[in-house]
């Protein structure tokens, strides 16, 4: 593992933050129901035929600082239909908030970024929003959003909706911690270079196949981040192993590079996991032996090892503190997109000490699918 702890340089695009995640799905109404009742999101806005949008239906959902949008096509043709047909349900857009879209696009272009859509201003009675799109790995894009002075429920073109559903058990999700992308063989360094050159990001951590491996599979990963450590993108690629790794499985089922998982922060992971289980969410289970020597590995923690064992929550420590994490199973039938739940108690790590246990659990699921 190589770790870069020097002060990062100022970001090329200025201050960055998460704006929203845009998922293209086969049935947006059903997906909105799932993310509401299982994960505790609240519907806040809608766009579709009733609002003058003829080719799609979109539901914007909110929880804590997070915003996600689920969109499905209303016909067999067009880019949304093509995406879903090829990838299944997945994150098409990791949207980022910026102070000035036009300045950001100019800086990104000078850094070698591919601009998919030039800045455009849209408006409604709630104000104006400026947005542009930047390409990244696979069919994924980053929409840059400038919201200064906009007071609508989500974006122009959306109308506010009254929540009709709620989760049986509130989940307590707060914000996006990081978004992980899977890319093809020997493509990781290319995309790390893309983010460092175009966005001015800094590489925080590098994991090789000695850090992330089991008896059967391996991968490599590097993490890039903005200057504030707010927007973090781990990027994974396959490494040689005896059997097919989770990254290869993802690439096969997704049909190329894309967002593998989203890590979502909570300030009480025990309560969050209990609520998710009660709401019917399926979570990965750690090998039972993982907990036998947990305190020897991570030292004193504020949680009961018995409770962590019961719920399958993993723990890792760095020199700043410790963190707790757990992973859902895939959120759809294709074994592609999933969520990570994370609670940081000082630690800035990405769970290096948990890689072996996590990968064993993932390999057990791959074996059930016959793809290991």
Closest CA to 196 of 350, 20, 10, 17: 10
Cβ–Cβ < 8 Å for 73, 87 = no
pLDDT digits (tens, 9 = 90+) for 126-182: 999 999 999 999 999 999 999 998 999 999 999 999 887 788 899 999 999 999 999
pLDDT digits (tens, 9 = 90+) for 267-299: 999 999 999 999 999 999 888 888 888 898 889
Span 208-231, average pLDDT? 74
Whether the pLDDT of residue 303 is over 90: the answer is yes
Cβ–Cβ < 8 Å for 318, 275 = no
* Amino acid 350: pLDDT: 78
More confident residue, 210 or 371: 371
Domains and CATH numbers, the chain: 17-160 (3.10.180.10), 175-369 (3.10.180.10)
Highest mean pLDDT among 106-115, 197-206, 214-223, 346-355: 106-115
CA–CA dist 356, 362 (Å, integer) = 10
Q: In this structure, what are the phi and psi dihedrals at residue 215, rounded to the nearest 5 degrees?
A: -60, -25
The pTM of this model reads 0.91
Count of Cβ atoms closer than 10 Å to residue 1 Cβ? 11
- Return the bridge partners of 129, or none: 122
Count of Cβ atoms closer than 10 Å to residue 10 Cβ? 11
């Amino acid at each position: 593992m190589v770790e870069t702890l020097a002060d990062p340089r100022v970001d090329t695009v200025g201050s960055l933050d998460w704006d929203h995640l845009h998922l293209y799905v086969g049935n947006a109404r059903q997906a909105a129901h799932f993310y509401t009742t299982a994960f505790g999101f609240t519907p806040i806005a809608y766009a579709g035929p009733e609002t003058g949008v003829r080719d799609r239906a979109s539901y914007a959902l909110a929880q804590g600082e997070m915003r996600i949008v689920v969109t499905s096509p209303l016909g067999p043709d067009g880019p949304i239909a093509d995406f879903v047909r090829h990838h299944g349900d997945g994150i098409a857009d990791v949207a980022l908030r910026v102070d000035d879209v036009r300045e950001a696009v100019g800086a990104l272009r000078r850094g070698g970024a591919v601009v998919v859509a030039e800045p455009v201003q849209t408006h409604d009675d709630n104000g104006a929003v400026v947005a542009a799109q930047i390409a990244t790995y696979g069919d994924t894009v980053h929409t840059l959003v400038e919201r200064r002075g906009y007071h609508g429920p989500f974006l122009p073109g959306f109308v506010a909706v009254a929540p009709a559903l709620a989760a049986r058990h509130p989940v307590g999700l707060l914000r996006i911690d990081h978004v992980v992308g899977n890319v093809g063989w020997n493509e990781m360094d290319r995309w790390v270079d893309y983010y460092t050159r175009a966005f001015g990001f800094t590489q925080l951590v590098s994991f090789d196949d000695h850090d992330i491996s089991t008896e059967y599979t391996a991968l490599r990963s590097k993490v890039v981040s903005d200057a504030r450590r707010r927007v973090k993108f781990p990027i994974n690629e396959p490494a040689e192993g005896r059997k097919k790794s989770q990254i290869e499985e993802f690439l096969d089922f997704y049909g190329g590079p894309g967002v593998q998982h989203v890590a979502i922060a909570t300030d009480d992971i025990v309560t969050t996991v209990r609520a998710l289980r009660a709401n019917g969410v399926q979570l990965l289970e750690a090998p039972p032996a993982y907990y036998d020597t947990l305190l020897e590995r991570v030292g004193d923690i504020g949680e009961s090892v018995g409770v962590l064992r019961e719920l399958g929550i993993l723990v890792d420590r760095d020199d700043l503190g410790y963190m707790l994490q757990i992973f859902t199973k895939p959120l759809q039938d294709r074994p592609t997109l999933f969520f990570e739940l994370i609670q940081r108690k000082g630690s800035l790590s990405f769970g290096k000490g948990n890689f072996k246990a996590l990968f064993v659990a993932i390999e057990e699921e791959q074996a059930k699918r016959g793809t290991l």
